[in-house]
Structure 1
Amino acid sequence: MGFRKVVNGCMIFRKSWTKKEQAELLIHLGQCLNDGYPMALAVRLLLFRQRAQVKHDLEVMIKKLEGGRTLYEALADLHFPEEISSFIYFSEESGNLAKGLIESGRMMSRREQHKETLRRLLRYPVLLLWVFGLMMFLIGRFLLPNFLRLYRSLSIDLPLITKILLFSANHIYYLLFILPLLFLSGIAGTIYFRRMTMERKLRLMIHMPLVGHYTRLYLTHVFSFHFGSLLRSGLPIRQSVAALSQKGTTPFLKFEADRLQKELLEGRHFEQIMSQPRYYMPELVTVIHQGQLNGMLGASLCRYSGLVMTKIDEKTRLLLSFCQPALLLFVGGLVLFLFASILLPIFHIVNGL
């Protein structure tokens, strides 16, 4: 019965908390730990300004922490994103929990900001596309057929652009079959992708346009942050690699830990091992080389991970800044096509007269 209550509480947390609220929780906990507060008290401080449902979830979390559960386990039970739970796990392992909480919260906050920006940018172009589709259907089904009859009576051939619009309007109902088919294909592709081995997933993703570059940046950031944090806490390379394969890590880090352990047992140098994969940024090997020369490999990797995250944010903002103008140009071209298909027949009729 008790386990059932905990599960229900977890499900409520997952449904009622937004990503923004989760990010605020992580940042608050990290700041409280920096100020010297114990974890349970840091969570209690949030109870006074939360709605009833969130208070219930925080009380469940406090009971788990007081019962001896780690923060990573409490957050995993509350269905936090896997990678965020992994960040917290490594932060606990390396003794940098406060910094890890703040970094994780800021990462979630940045993602939500990017999603909100993208939704805001797409809102107007999507509305225009919907209006364009409605106009094309109405014009193609009711207006252009009259032009077609008039042209036939005058023995004048329709312009090509008008023929294209007429054909599109008469076959627009095919979208009712195409869209569900695309949706089902997307679901099937997602299921197939999840069943792939990690090696095949990485090989596929790094060869995809645009996605490949983001994949390299993200994986470089994840490995640099986690591995650098473990090294900076005083663990040697082999023990840090072993820590990557623990239960709190993500599937990618487990895959990478198995690869590194196998290569290290064969007697290869760490720098040489890290130069082989194509799913990391080329600069990572240089950072590892310089860090080993200076005896500051952990600190170098942590600093490099921050630079990579900054680069990801900059590229994301740049990409988002191009989204709306590109969509508006595309929709503007469609509207121009629509009006040209209407006006050209009129000009042809006038010239014919």
Structure 2
Amino acid sequence: MLSALLRKRKQVRSSDRRLPDHLQILFLHRLSHILSKGYPLLEALRMTGWDARLKPVAESLITALGRGDTIDQAYKHARFSKTVTNFLYFSNIHFDLPHIFRQTKQLMEMKKEYKERITRVLRYPLLLLVFLIGAFTIMKRTVLPNFIQLFEGESTSTLWLLMGVDYFMTGMVIIFLLLGGSLVSLLFILPRMSVQNKLDFYQRFPVLRVYYSYSASYSFTTHLHSLLRAGLTLKQSMETMRDHHGDEVLSTYSKEILLQLGEGKSFGQALHSCPLFRTELTDIFHHTNDVEALQSELEILAEFFIEHIQSKITTWIQRIQPIFFVLVAVVIISIYASIMLPLYGWMNQL
């Protein structure tokens, strides 16, 4: 009974686990390539399943589509990333599946690449920093108290230096624990925040504000371009994005834009009510009224946003390692000072 219950719980957990990124990328690559040859979707899925690694995913999608699920629901059931399902939601309107699969594959590749680069950059500095802080803590509890006791009662610069190093060690450990605890807490708290609280939180921190401003602007620009190309009006496009609750920021901003349009404001003016949208996006609607010209400019702007996101992330990654090595150097110097300087001071008194 207990073993059956444990097996069932394990199956539920594995079914909730997201499909690995490398399998998603491979699946999207194979499927987009087959679709570009002119094969229908179900046949393309069947052919993608020729690869044993992709067969369970292909069968899951064929089953879901066969019972009437939309394509975004089918991919969600197959445990694909939210990035993929958000884009596929709009394919129910414009039906440009080969383009959507290529686009989502590129986004997944970009996310996977930067995730791996950040892991490589942080791995050894973090391990070294944790080790040094551990050594720091041991010294604070063993070596420093003995030195302070040795120089206690003497008004010497060495005693003040020892006390300063002691306070510095304590401060470093507290800051490190607070930062680590804050990041872990954020991972649990952020998904449970309301949309408005998330938007306020993003705007409060410069790094998050820059990243999410480009991310939200890219999503809005890309989806609006695809909907306009499918023949929808601006208002219909906003209504479609408003009804898509998979992307909370996009849905909330689309709802706000529709409210502003209902009050008689122009589209460009309505965009100003969305603080995370970039000025490059709002400027387009102030000087472009023709729908065809707007489609062209939105396509170019989407390319600009994704290139700028890549550039920003690369710059941040390049700065992470030097910052960590500076912290490591400060810790090493402090350890050296806490051991050697008291010894020099003690030797001078002999």
| Corresponding position: 1:234 with 2:231 | yes
Is there any run of 5+ residues in structure 2 with no aligned partner, and where?
A: 1-9
Contact kept in structure 1, 2:83 and 2:104, CA below 8 Å: no
Which residue is 2:137 aligned to?
A: 137
Amino acid at match of 2:160: L
The residue type equivalent to 2:224 in the other structure is F
**Corresponding residue SS for 1:69:** coil
Deviation at 1:249, TM superposition (A): 4.7
What displacement does 1:155 show?
7.9
Provide the C-alpha distance between the structure 1 equivalents of 2:155 and 2:209, rounded to a whole number of angstroms: 55
Query: CA, structure 1 residues 21+10, in 2 after alignment: closer, same or farther (shift >3 Å)?
Result: farther
Mapped partners of 2:328, 2:179: distance in 1:
20
Give the structure 1 partner of residue 85 of structure 2. Answer: 85
Q: What does residue 242 of structure 2 align with?
A: 245
Contact 1:65–1:71, Cα closer than 8 Å, also in 2: yes
Aligned residue in 2 for 1:336? 333
| Cα 1:218/1:185, change in 2 over 3 Å | closer
Q: In structure 1, how many angstroms separate the alpha carbons of the residues matched to 2:222 and 2:235?
A: 17
Shift of 1:315: 0.4
Superposed CA deviations along residues 7-44 of structure 1, whole A, max 9, x for unmatched, are x9996455373122112222322222122122223222
Which is worse superposed, 72-81 or 212-221?
Answer: 72-81
Partners of 1:61 and 1:145 lie apart in 2 by: 65
Pick the aligned partner of 2:281 from 279, 284, 296.
284
Contact 1:26-1:102 at 8 Å conserved across structures = yes
Q: Residue 49 of structure 1: SS of its match in structure 2?
A: coil
Matches within 5 A, 1:110-189: 110-152=110-152, 158-166=158-166, 182=182, 185-186=185-186, 189=189
Q: Whose relative contact order is higher, 1 or 2, with alpha carbons under 8 Å and at least 6 apart?
A: 1
Pair 1:141–1:264, CA change in 2 (3 A) = closer
Aligned to 1:45, the other structure's residue is in SS state helix
CA contact (8 A) 1:136 1:165 kept: no
Alpha-carbon distance between aligned partners in 1 of 2:171 and 2:114, rounded to the nearest angstrom: 37
Q: Distance in 1 between matches of 2:205 and 2:176?
A: 29
Q: How many residue pairs align between the two structures?
A: 341
For the residues of structure 1 that align with 2:66 and 2:346, how far apart are their CA atoms?
84
2:300 is the counterpart of 1:303:
yes
Q: Give the aligned residue type for 2:231.
A: G
Structure 1 position 331, deviation (Å): 0.7
Corresponding residue of 1:17: 19
Shift of 1:148: 3.5
Q: Aligned partners of 1:171 and 1:305: how far apart in 2?
A: 45
Q: Shift in Å at residue 218 of structure 1?
A: 0.9
Q: Does 1:313 align with 2:310?
A: yes
Mapped partners of 1:333, 1:173: distance in 2: 13
Matching of residue 327 in structure 1 with residue 324 in structure 2: yes
Aligned to 1:4: none
Of 13-22 and 119-128, deviating more is 13-22
TM-score of the pair, normalised by structure 2:
0.84
Kept in 2, the 8 Å contact 1:230–1:298? The answer is no
CA distance in 2, matches of 1:263, 1:183: 36
Task: For residue 313 of structure 1, report the CA deviation from its aligned partner.
Answer: 0.7
Q: Is the 8 A contact 2:229 2:295 kept in 1?
A: yes
Structure 1 SS opposite 2:142: helix
In the other structure, the counterpart of 1:49 is 51
In the superposition, the TM-score normalised over structure 1's length comes to: 0.84
Alpha-carbon deviations, 1:295-338, whole Å to 9, x = none? 42123212211210110011001100110111011111111111
Structure 2 SS opposite 1:48: coil
Quote how far apart the aligned CAs of 1:180 are: 9.3
What is the identity, as a one-letter code, of the residue corresponding to 1:85? T
RMSD: 3.2
Counterpart code for 1:19: D
Give the match's secondary structure for 1:79: coil
Runs of 5+ unmatched residues, structure 1: 1-7
Percentage of pairs with the same residue: 24
